[in-house]
Homo-oligomer: A and B are copies of this chain.
Amino acid sequence: MSGTPSGTRKGAGASSGTPSDPPRRRGRPAGKRAGAAAGTRERILAAAREEFSAHGYDKTSVRSIGKAADVDAALVHHYFGTKDQVFAAAIELSFGPALELPGAMAAGGPDGMGERVARFMLGVWENGATRGPLLAIVRSAVTNERAAAVFRGLVGRRVLARVAGELRVPDPEFRVQLAAAQLVGIIMLRYVVKVEPIASASPEDLVAVVAPTLQRYLTDPDVRPGAAQQQRD
């Protein structure tokens, strides 16, 4: 995807990351991504995404990513750390479009929020270019506990927590997860298992039937985690 296959040496330059960079763990080298080095990092990341997409989490190694990017495995470690950290960066790249959700959701206040969320998420999945890498990530997260942990941490922090932060109601995390569950299920049936008629329904028809569900989860005061217990006590 990216170019500039030069400058793979360590210690080149010294710039700080951009504000959109993922948080870097302690003990990892930092501030070495100026100019040509940034090209190398991007090339490794693109290779990582392709490797994880094509072979899944289990069958992808730091070594195979290095090979695909035509660099030494040590350089992959240098830029990203462990396999899990490369995987997290690859998820972040694949989830790029979905990371815009909190902004899209906040744009119009509570009214019509369910509809906006449904339309946004279906739009991301209807786009063939973004769907492939997303599917690959989901498959890895479903089949491997470690991949699931990375996925949970990143999606939880970057999407769910931010979406929850936009809600002005009690139990925002629980609500966001109920809404996410509805969308995840539709994604599973429509794009992964491909059951008819849901696989061929128009996106707008799905938005129309799903929007009231999401609206209720995200805004209805009666939705709360301890509801059943409180009623019975």
Contact = CB atoms under 8 A, between A and B. Distances in A.
Contact of A156 (B56, B195, B231): B195
A123 interface: no
Contacts of A216: 212-213
Interface in A46-103: 56
Interface stretch (A13-21, A35-43, A104-112, A136-144): A136-144
Interface string A197-230: 1100110110111101100110000011111110
Contact of A209 (B148, B201, B217): B217
A205 B225 contact: yes
A202 B184 contact: no
Nearest to A181: B185
A160 B195 contact: yes
Given A143-B56, A195-B152, A209-B223, A186 B185 contact: yes
Interface size range on A against B: 35 or more
Given A202-B229, A212-B216, A197 B181 contact: no
Given A198-B177, A228-B205, A139 B143 contact: yes
A150 to B, nearest CB: 11
A167 interface: no
Given A183-B185, A186-B185, A188-B181, A193 B141 contact: yes
Contact of A227 (B156, B193, B205): B205
Nearest to A179: B185
A125 interface: no
Contacts of A30: none
A193 B148 contact: yes
Nearest to A226: B205
Contacts of A152: 193-195
Contact of A148 (B142, B192, B204): B192
26 contacts: A56-B143, A138-B142, A142-B142, A142-B193, A148-B192, A151-B193, A171-B197, A177-B195, A177-B197, A181-B182, A181-B188, A184-B184, A184-B188, A185-B188, A188-B188, A202-B228, A204-B228, A205-B225, A205-B227, A208-B228, A209-B217, A209-B223, A209-B224, A209-B225, A209-B227, A212-B216
